[in-house]
Structures are given as structure tokens and as C-alpha cells.
Amino acid sequence: MTVDFDQYINREQTSCVKFDGRQQYFGTSDVLPLWVADMDFAVPECVTHALQTRINHPVFGYTLYPESLYQAVVDWFVRRHKWKIEREWIVFAPGVVPSLFAAVQAFTKEGEGVIVQSPVYFPFFSAVTTNHRTLFNNPLREVNGRYEIDFEHLEDCAKQGASLLLLCTPHNPVGRVWREDELLRLLDISRRYNLTILSDDIHCDLVYSGVTHTMLGRLSQPGDKIVTTVAPNKSFNIPGLGLSALIIPNLAERNAMKQVFERLHVGNYNPLSMVAFEAAYRDGDEWLDALMIYLEQTRDIAADFIARELPQIKLIKPEATYLLWLDCRALGLNDSALRDFFVKGCKLGMNPGSVFGEGGSGFMRMNIGCRRSVIMEALVSIRENIIHQS
Ligand SMILES: Cc1ncc(COP(=O)(O)O)c(C=O)c1O
């Protein structure tokens, strides 16, 4: 399938956060938007077509999750991840972040400990703190430009009574795809300390060549307390539609998650979300494969440019996700000066690393889910501004 990912699509004035939220977030709209994790690409035709077909029916009443939607999830995980799941394990939820919050409520009491591994996508922290749980941080270890889990410290956290781990797999923002042996070690710790794991696999389909993502849930055995959350939102660029799926083999954990949502009477019964979700998982394979080829070329071109032209910046080359984690510490700027350098100097709107918690200071996160020419423009702008600065 050929898809023109270089096609220009004007997203301004669509109330989209990434473009129309720039003034609010950066204090100016005069920055290239390389922040919020959505892409500037048109969604696959199968998704547009499914939405159009649904819209042709002029009634948008209360809607059930159709069997075909469950089937699309079951088939996707067998086909793409060799994970055979049962239809009964699936629970639909409004989004992945709501499920992080729900898991904290379902599996811990106020004051109890929840483990996160920073630097990490910021709602992982707020899911714990806004629910008045105790945050146990197990910072990732940076070893020669690559991040690893600190298993000894993780075990200490569990020993000290933390009962839930919020796992990001693949990991945003550092782009690691956890290897099977690393996941097995996590499972071993979870079994020995009765730890529940919320496995956020939202980026599981955005994995580059030469790397295999293993679903933690696929490695689990009956009795393991694993809750997996997935969605086509990132992979197919439909996060605004806000529907995700939980995959929970164990009945107790499944009921606990359902109860949290039921208490708030929260579901997502939006018929448009459902048809887009189903079409993406049912018919989106070829588009997704083409997307990954495009993203990988952008990642590699950016990596070459950074290595050659930006000696002060080190790229932590991602194994997955369209997010580049840029180590800017050699620029010698504090976080506020670093942000000014990129916003005011380079005119780039990226996420400052400091928002991802301990270990994020001195880093920036660049979203490459856009036309390659935009990324080249951004990199050239950084080069010009580093020259001016020195
Ligand atoms: C790890 C991770 N989880 C969840 C989300 C957002 O999920 P949702 O929009 O479905 O709440 C993101 C978005 O960047 C993410 O990176």
C-alpha cells in the first residue's frame, strides 16, 4: 500500500490541542508543534470509510458494543502480537489514562503505595497523587544511552508495601521496548510480592524493525494480576475519539476495574468511536505497516542529522513510538532556559523533559509524527540557534 505521509494537511482552526493549543501552552503560536502525542497524518481510508458509512445513518442513539468490535480486538492480538485472548477478558473503557486512574482506585486504598518508573508519561504520576496514594518512584537507569529497569529497587518498593505497578510498555518517553526476559523478571517480582501490574501497551503497535514487542499479558499465567490496556488511538491517529480496551484474564481484577467505571456510570458508548476502532483493528494492517516504514526513515534521518550536526544533543534512539527523547544536557541550560532556547530561539514547541519526572531534566521530547520536511526544518533550526548561541 502506498500512503502519502508527506501530504500537507492544515490542522489549524480545528480546535486541536497540538496546533490550536500552542498559545496556551507555549505563550505563542509561532512554534512548530512537535509536542502532544498525536500525528498530523490522515487516518487510514478504512477508518474514514467506516465513519462515513455510520454517519449516513442519521440516528445516533445509545449504542451497544457490537460483537464485531470484540472480534476485531481478539483477531488483532492474535494476528499482530501472537496473544490469544478470550472475548470475555475484554472491557471497553473511555481512554487509557482513565484506566490508569481506575486501576489505582480498584487495586489500592488511600495511602497505599503505587510504583511508577520515571521519566514517564506524566498522568502516571497524577493517577497516583490525585487519588491520594503514595508514589513509589523506581527511576529507570540510563546505561550508555539506553534505559533499563532497576529491578533491585523495584523489589525494594514492593517489599516496602507498594501493591500496584503502573508499567509503560513500550515506554513513553524513552522509547524502550522491554525484552521478554525483562518482562519475565517483572512477573517474577509481581508473583513474589503479590503486586498487581497495570500494563499500558498503548504504543505496542508502533515498534520499529529489528525489535519485537511482547505483550506482558501474553507471558502471564492464570492467577497473575495483570491488567492490560490497549487502543488503536496512537497507532491509527484517532486519540480524539477516546475509546480503549482493557484485557483482563482474571475475573477478580476484571470485576474490580468494571466496578470503578460503573460507580461513575462511565462508559464510552459513542457509536463513532466504536466504528473507527473496529475498522482500524480489522482493516488497518497495511496502513500501519506503511506508517512504520515512514516513521522509521524519519527517525533514522533525524538520528544521522543529530549525530553529525548537533554534537551538543544526544538522541536516545527509540525502539518504538514516534517520540524522540533528546538529551540536551550538554547545552548547559537549566530547564527554564532550555525551554526558552527551543521556544523563543528555535521556534519549536516540544515537551520539556522535566514534566516526565525525575530523570527528565535537561531533556526534550520531540514528536516526529508529521511530515519529514517539518522535522528537517526543526533540526536545521536547532543547528542555526546553537551556532548563534556559541
Ligand atoms: C503511555 C501512554 N498512555 C496513555 C496515553 C493517552 O491515552 P488516552 O488518550 O487513550 O487516554 C498516552 C498518550 O500519549 C501515552 O503515551
pLDDT of residue 28: 98
Q: Atom 16, ligand 1: which residue's CA is nearest?
A: 172
Tabulate helix, strand, coil % of the chain (nearest 5): 45, 15, 40
- Which atom of ligand 1 sits closest to the CA of residue 242? 10
Compute, in angstroms, the gap from residue 96 CA to the centroid of ligand 1.
6
Compute, in angstroms, the gap from residue 36 CA to the centroid of ligand 1.
10
Question: Model confidence over 236-274: pLDDT tens digits?
Answer: 999 999 999 999 999 999 999 999 999 998 876 899 999
Compute, in angstroms, the gap from residue 97 CA to the centroid of ligand 1.
6
Crossing angle of helices 151-159 and 180-193, rounded to 10°: 20
Give ligand 1 pocket residues (Cβ under 6 A). 37, 95-97, 121, 168, 172, 200, 202, 231, 233, 239, 244
- Which atom of ligand 1 sits closest to the CA of residue 120? 1
CB distance 239 to 38 below 8 Å: yes
Compute, in angstroms, the gap from residue 38 CA to the centroid of ligand 1.
10
Distance in angstroms (rounded) separating the CA atoms of residues 247 and 377: 41
Query: Angle CA(157)–CA(160)–CA(164) in degrees, nearest 5?
Result: 55
Cell numbers for 240, please give them: 480524539
Compute, in angstroms, the gap from residue 303 CA to the centroid of ligand 1.
25
Average pLDDT over residues 222-235: 97
Compute, in angstroms, the gap from residue 234 CA to the centroid of ligand 1.
8
In the predicted model, what is the mean pLDDT of the chain?
97
Average pLDDT over residues 190-194: 97
Q: Atom 7, ligand 1: which residue's CA is nearest?
A: 96
Average pLDDT over residues 363-382: 98
Cell numbers for 378, please give them: 526543526
Compute, in angstroms, the gap from residue 255 CA to the centroid of ligand 1.
23
Compute, in angstroms, the gap from residue 100 CA to the centroid of ligand 1.
10
CB distance 255 to 227 below 8 Å: no
- Which atom of ligand 1 sits closest to the CA of residue 36? 14
> Which sign, positive or negative, has the C-alpha torsion 142, 146, 152, 154?
positive
- Which atom of ligand 1 sits closest to the CA of residue 95? 10
Nearest one of 274, 268, 249 to 95, comparing CA atoms: 268
Domains of the chain are: 17-44+286-389 (3.90.1150.10), 59-283 (3.40.640.10)
Contacts 24+ apart (CB under 8 A), 55-63: 55/272, 60/271, 60/272, 62/269, 63/269, 63/270, 63/271, 63/274
pLDDT of residue 390: 67
Question: Model confidence over 124-170: pLDDT tens digits?
Answer: 999 999 999 999 999 999 998 899 999 999 999 999 999 999 999 99
73 Cβ partners below 8 Å, 6+ apart? 85, 90, 230, 245, 247, 281
Q: Ligand 1 test: best mutation among 96, 322, 351, most atoms within 8 Å of CB?
A: 96
Query: Angle CA(134)–CA(137)–CA(141) in degrees, nearest 5?
Result: 175
375 Cβ partners below 8 Å, 6+ apart? 34, 298, 301, 302, 366, 368
Question: Model confidence over 1-31: pLDDT tens digits?
Answer: 899 999 999 999 999 999 999 999 999 999 9
139 Cβ partners below 8 Å, 6+ apart? 117, 118, 119, 150, 153, 358, 359
pLDDT of residue 146: 93
Q: How many CA atoms lie within 13 A of 65 on its CB side?
A: 19
- Which atom of ligand 1 sits closest to the CA of residue 37? 14
304 Cβ partners below 8 Å, 6+ apart? none
